[in-house]
Amino acid sequence: MTEQLDKMETINEIVKEAKNLNKLNLQILLTKLRVKKIQKKGVKPASNPVKGIEPPTMEEIDLWKHQSRKPYENR
């Protein structure tokens, strides 16, 4: 129960201080808090590759992008 009260007290203190900040400083504070949260939580992979299949190399991806921009007749 006291841990809950300590958290609420901390939150109330933060809110009091945040009310005194201008809009830019408040945005900076929120951005820093979000970055800390992401760093603590970690970032999930963007895709779930199939096991046993090697992901393409950067060179292969660059080649695909280059070829996709060529007109169809020149491929």
Cβ(67)–Cβ(75) below 8 Å: yes
Residues 1-17: pLDDT tens digits? 667 778 899 999 989 99
Q: State residue 74's pLDDT score.
A: 61
Measured CA angle at 37 (ends 29, 5), to 5 deg:
80
Looking at the structure of the chain, the number of domains it has is 1
Q: State residue 52's pLDDT score.
A: 86
Q: State residue 1's pLDDT score.
A: 61
* Residue 49: domain span: 2-74
Q: Is the pTM of this model over 0.75?
A: no
| CA 15/CA 33 separation, integer angstroms | 14
Residues 40-58: pLDDT tens digits? 998 877 777 788 888 889 9
